[in-house]
Amino acid sequence: MSWLPRTPQSSGALNLNPEQQLANSAIPTHHTMASICHRCAVRLRHAAQAAPTRAFSTTPAAQRAVPAFTESPNPELNELFSLIRTKLFLPNYLDRRERNLIFKEKYRQMLLDNPPTVEMGDEEFTLEPLDKRRDLPARCPTVRKALDIMMEKDSKDWHQLPTLMQGLKQGLNKPLRLETQEKIIRKAVHADQMGVILQCLETPERTGMDLKRDGVRRTLLYGLRELAQKKDWHRKATDKALRNANLVSRLLESEEHGGGRNLKENDPRTRPETVGIFLELAAVYAYRHAGAKDDTGLVKAYAERLTSCLERASVEPHGLNLVKRTKASEDRVSTHARQWPMLSAIPIWHGIFLAQKILGEDMPNNAIATKAIADYETRLNALAAELESDEPTPYGQEALAAWRACIRD
């Protein structure tokens, strides 16, 4: 069974009989009365005597548009998109009355004999009976399979991600799990598809992806700087990373992402690991590609914010340690988490180190900056030595590469 979208033939939201207008037909009571209650039969008769078109739902059709995927070059993904849209999204975009019609057994024969249509957005769907146990696909494995194909190497379907996330969040009220969102961001980094992630973040109320979550924010910000670092801080790559970081900085000011007028306890905007990446990218660009001059004032602004954050920070550099191995250390997330203290500290050191070179005597809180440079460098060298002696995993190698890639000339 499937709902097939059709071009509406009229401006109304309902056509109770697609074969002909209800006003010119009679309800086939000899087929329906045995399967529906008397009250429902009376309602249907009244519908037949009404105007040829009338609203099946009081919700405006435009407000209930079902998120639509575009055609994919992958046939398997097209089938999954169709299944997700018609069997997972659509039932959850219907109102309660419409859902009762398709799911309740007492209406089954009525729908088979006289299938109604409902207009949603600029599409018209025929409602047919559904058995929740037999006809609906398992959500998690179906969505996971679609995501895996979308994120394959050389995939042309990354742009479909916001549509998928919107249907899950708004329709099913089942946004992607945080671990899945983090995995998607990591995949986007390697596929150079961070633009799609930022698009999802611009409408958190639709996609369910926001920067309130430490894991999402951390993975995103580190991913931005990683793209520039792996291109050896090339001008184009660094400029792109800096522009995207500035966009994230603006998003962090909004209430949807945990910001607002007033700073809160443990506010991301005052956390060294967050501000450190903003400063690092601004400083690398100025040092490497703008003659070591802070023409925009961005380096000084971020340097002042970061040194102020460090002055109030509850964790000193000597307190940074690699996360100890656990029984779950084979898990990718746990293994990656082992290096996070080091990965988070590298941009702090790198940003302040370059900012001091660029700003000289104009460096804000210079004494704090000088101490931070020395303390962080000492601790990061120790963490690097610990990783090197421990047969580092690929994520450990990633942390070592990030430390070695810092500009020191």
Confidence of residue 325 (pLDDT cuts 50, 70, 90): low
CA distance 303 to 396: 28
Taking 70 as the threshold, does the pLDDT of residue 185 lie above it?
yes
Confidence of residue 42 (pLDDT cuts 50, 70, 90): very low
User: Comparing C-alpha atoms, which of 84, 85, 72 is closest to residue 156?
Assistant: 72
CA distance 110 to 31: 8
Per-residue confidence (pLDDT) for residue 260, from 0 to 100: 83
Per-residue confidence (pLDDT) for residue 392, from 0 to 100: 76
Q: Give DSSP secondary structure letters for 107-128.
A: GHHHHHHS--EEEETTEEEE--
Residues 6+ apart with CB under 8 A from 361: none
Q: Three-state SS for 15?
A: strand
Residues 6+ apart with CB under 8 A from 352: 276, 279, 303, 306, 307, 369, 372, 373, 376
Read off the DSSP letter of residue 135. T
One-letter amino acid identity for 241?
A
Q: Read off the pTM.
A: 0.80
Whether the CB-CB separation of 211 and 224 falls below 8 Å is answered with no
Cβ-defined contacts of 365-374 (< 8 Å, 24+): 365/304, 365/307, 365/308, 365/311, 368/307, 368/310, 368/311, 369/303, 369/307, 372/307, 372/310, 372/317, 372/348, 373/349
- Rg (alpha carbons) of the chain, rounded to whole number: 28
- Average confidence score pLDDT of the chain: 84
Cα distances from 357 to residues 281, 283, 286, 349, in angstroms, run 14, 9, 11, 13
Q: Three-state SS for 14?
A: strand
Confidence of residue 201 (pLDDT cuts 50, 70, 90): very high
